[in-house]
Structure 1
Amino acid sequence: MAGNKRFYDALWADARLCAPERFNTWPLVSELAARATSRLEVAPGLRPRLPLADTQFVDLSRPALSELRRAGARVANAMIGALPFRDGAFDFVCAFDILEHVVDDDGALGELARVAVPGASLLLSTPLHPDAWTPFDDFVGHYRRYEPEAIRALLARHGFTIERSAVYGMQPKSSKLLDLGQYFLTHHRARAMWWYNRVFMPLGMRFQKPLAFKPGFDPAPGVDEVLLVCRKAIT
């Protein structure tokens, strides 16, 4: 966790806040947000997907929290495994690219389930397939990739069912590009962070494709990352 915090503190210290409307998640998010009365997004950094107004954001990175607060968001400095909210506080919860970064993913998902009211929506994205592991996963602080059945079972254990899913993420297909990026992040970090924040991230956002959702969760072979739309059971 300390390594993750150092990496993302450095990343967000030289980054600009991106409006949620700029991401290809916005059509889905705006649809679900319109039906929600209380919203939580965990660890967005400076790439929040939920509307800034009237959403509670939680992050470990103080540079990210400062920018989010300056933009009018409600923020709290906390970890996903110890959320400072009462049981059933939210009816819309998001955690994009988070579970793979925490040691105790079962405890983290348990906290998301605890603060979610029965019937709440959960948006969750995560990388797939342990055999697709690269040195870049190590570098950005991943602890795991999930087999589809493993993430489905983990969600079910905490009362969530997957309603629909889509291929997600901006990872380059070329392993050479990933190796080059890792080299510069290792040996020329300040310059690499500048290029990522000011050039590659804006380009990636410009060429995002609309998300294509399918009912349930049955990823095709070779899918690197998925976005899952889940629902907490009503007991």
Structure 2
Amino acid sequence: MTVASFTSGPPAPRTDADLIGSNKRFYDALWSEAKLFAPDRFNTWPLVSELAAQTSRRLEVAPGLRPRLPLADTQFVDLSRPALAELSRHGARVANAMIGALPFRDASFDFVCAFDILEHVVDDEGALGELARVAEPGARLLLSVPLHPEAWTAFDDFVGHYRRYEPEAIRALLARHGFTIERSAVYGMQPKSSKLLDIGQWYLTHQRARAMWWYNKVFMPLGVRFQKPLAFTPGFAPGPGVDEVLLVCRKTQA
């Protein structure tokens, strides 16, 4: 097997319809063959359990089958029906909707999570505006995003990313919608080796069924097992080479 290099520059502009279609195809296939991982298996759990104990009306957007918030008493929203069916089977409250049009009243939640989602949508202003709309003043927001457009690879394109963020751009976007960043941590489980990413994408492109089996049965369990504890620092000042961050934010404006 010859594996070509998949490193590339940022993608050509795509429409919402393009992104929705590619995301739905990729994640419906992924979640159809996956099992649900309980929230307490992730390194986000110490933080989440701390914040969940202080809140009562929780929303997680686009969790797939990797929810970070407790299944009980949390509202989950996703575009993937296979993911929603499995979440519901485990007792979660679910709704089929998109981040840009959440079916909830203003100020409905005091704890909102959106992991790995803003980079998938064209209108991130509208998406974050919806998160701000349904969050009450003082609510907590957990948000993860990939950083640095110059770090773009074709793998970002393949999994349906629209952008990577410069640190100041995500800080400014949050501020425009009334959120301040309280603390942050390096986040994510992407391999450091570009060769591993190239091989993984080759299999996803040419032998998808086998790649999905290995991801769901081997690589995902191993990745979860060997996660490092999150190391939070006050505010947000990512060092060089940081691929993805988790931001703990508070809504400060009505």
Query: Structures share a fold, TM > 0.5?
Result: yes
Superposition pairs of residues 1-235 of structure 1, within 5 angstroms: 1-235=20-254
The answer as to whether partners of 2:114 and 2:142 remain within 8 angstroms in 1 is yes
**Structure 1 regions of 5+ residues with no counterpart?**
none
| CA RMSD, 1 decimal | 0.5
Structure 2 Cα separation of the partners of residues 84 and 209 of structure 1: 35
What is the count of residue pairs matched by the alignment? 235
Opposite residue 235 of structure 2, the aligned amino acid is: G
For 1:105 and 1:2, the matched residues in 2 are separated by 17
What is the rounded CA distance, in whole Å, between the counterparts of 1:168 and 1:34 in structure 2?
Answer: 22
Distance in 1 of aligned mates of 2:206 and 2:124: 31
Letter in 2 for 1:197: N
Q: Is the partner of 1:200 in helix, strand or coil?
A: helix
What's the secondary structure of 1:82's corresponding residue?
coil
Structure 2 unmatched ranges of 5 or more: 1-19
After superposition, what is the alpha-carbon deviation per residue over 1:4-58, rounded to whole angstroms, capped at 9, x for unaligned?
Answer: 0110000000000000000000000000000101000000000000000000000
- Report the CA distance between 1:234 and its aligned residue: 4.3
- What is the TM-score with the length of structure 2 in the denominator? 0.92
TM-score, length of structure 1 as denominator length:
0.99
Equivalent pair of 2:41/2:224 in contact (CA under 8 Å): yes
How far residue 96 of structure 1 moved from its aligned partner, in angstroms, is: 0.2
| SS of the residue 2:231 aligns to | coil
Runs of 4+ more than 3 Å apart? none
Paired letter, 1:231:
R
